[in-house]
Every structure is written in structure tokens, then in C-alpha cells.
Structure 1
Amino acid sequence: MQIKRNASAHWAGSGKDGKGTVSTASTVLNQSQFSFNTRFADGIGTNPEELAGAAHAGCFSMQLAFNIQGAGFTADSIDTQCTITLDTDSASISGSHLVVKASVPGLDEAKFQELVEHAEKNCPISKLFNTKISVDATLV
């Protein structure tokens, strides 16, 4: 089975002075603004790296929840923050760092770290990225 999801971007103007919008088929994002300033400074709006970080944090959290379920446990909560690093010199994403805190009654630390490592390597967004991925995980 294949699932396809759609998003679009519109850009007008030059790279530095232009402006754009991004939208998703679900309309969760509906002509959300982005620009040079939202990407490289502190402008109002979103940027591709922020959206990639949200995708990675969400995908990782869901993969970890499936891993925990497969091990016979249920997470009370999984909170994941993702920091995407854009290296402007090489114009590439040089890293995705995940910080996860999970509450899973009955799960021991060693098994938790094993499940985290699997999620880090196997969530579909991790597989999409061609960059270093790191995780700091805390079982609370």
C-alpha cells in the first residue's frame, strides 16, 4: 500500500526580497508565509527547516509509540523536540537533533533506549534525511 500526501509552495520575487507561502492538502497550513527573513533571520512566518523539524519530531514520536506498543507497553506521553541545523556555507542540512522525554509505566531504561535507537533509524522521516541524526532520550 502506498499513501500519498500533498503540500505546495508558491514564491514570487527574488530569493532575498521575494515572499512565499506554503499550504497542505489538509489545510492545516493554508498559505502560511515564508521569506528570506523567516529562514535566515527572525521574520514572522515559517521556513522549510522548521517544517522538517516538525515532521521529524512527529514521525519519530509515532514510531517510538509503535515500538513501545510492540514491546508490550503503552506510553503515557512522548514529547519530542527537533532542532534542524542548516549549514548556510554548504547550503545543506547538517543535522537533526531530537530530544525526547517519555513516560512509559513498567518499561526499563535499557529497553527504552533500544526502542529509541530503532525509532531514530527507522521512522520514515529519518530515512528520508541525508544527514546526521542524534537523539537525547529521557525516560521519566
Structure 2
Amino acid sequence: MTTPDEVTVAVPRSLAAATFNALARYLADQTRTSGGALTPEARKLLHDLNSAASQPVSPTKPAGDAPATVMLGMGTVATLLGCTPQYARRLAARGEIPGAQRVGRIWLVPSTSLDAFRHERQEDPDGESGSAPPAEPR
């Protein structure tokens, strides 16, 4: 259970390695500058990020039988759609990618919704029905 001072942050597994590396560099600089040591909480956070980063990851499918929904950022969405991140954001903002959610300044898309959107685009690549426009070229 979290206390009022604690915050839970979900880091997509696909970003765990980059988050771990950035946080480790930052904490190393801070402890070098202050001459202090890492708190037990910081050590646990680094351990958890490192564990998540070392597990295999699929860009659109959760590992194993996990029921959790994997949320994808626009960079990953754009790569999987073969378009620019700006175009992916426009698709999300227009509601053309089902399930896309704006969280603060970023857009997140459930992997299952992206799979359905991609499947729909493959069935109708010309967008004749108007339900799935072709991807903007890079």
C-alpha cells in the first residue's frame, strides 16, 4: 500500500532499459557530487527496472499469458504503422486509432487496439471505406 507521499509510475517494458540507464547515470552523478549513498528505495527501483529491462519484449503482445494491456507510445506506434510520429498523433487525436488515450502531453495506445487497427488497414489498404486512412509516408 502506498502512503500519501508515494506515487506509482508505470514504465512500459519496452522503455525499461532506457529508463534504467538514464536513472542510473543520474543517480551516479548525484551520489558522486554529494558523496552520499543510494537510498534503499532507489536501489529497489533500479533493481526493478533492470529486471523488467532484461525480460524479452514484443512490441505489440504482452509476454506470456499476462492479461495486462501493453500501452505503446507514439514512437512505437509510428514505427509499427510505417509513418511519422506526428501522423500517428493526428490519427489518435482524430479518434481513428481505437483506444488511444492522451495522458498529459503524450498519447498512449493499447497494443490490442493497434493490432486491430493494423489488421483493419491490411484488409482495406486504400482506405476505400473511409475507416482507416493509409499511413503518411516518412
Same fold (TM over 0.5): no
Place the TM-score, normalised by the shorter chain, in its bin: under 0.3
Structure number with larger C-alpha Rg:
2
TM-score by length of 2: 0.24
TM-score by length of 1: 0.24
The structure whose RCO (Cα within 8 Å, separation 6+) is larger is 2
| Greater share of residues in strand | 1
| Greater share of residues in helix | 2
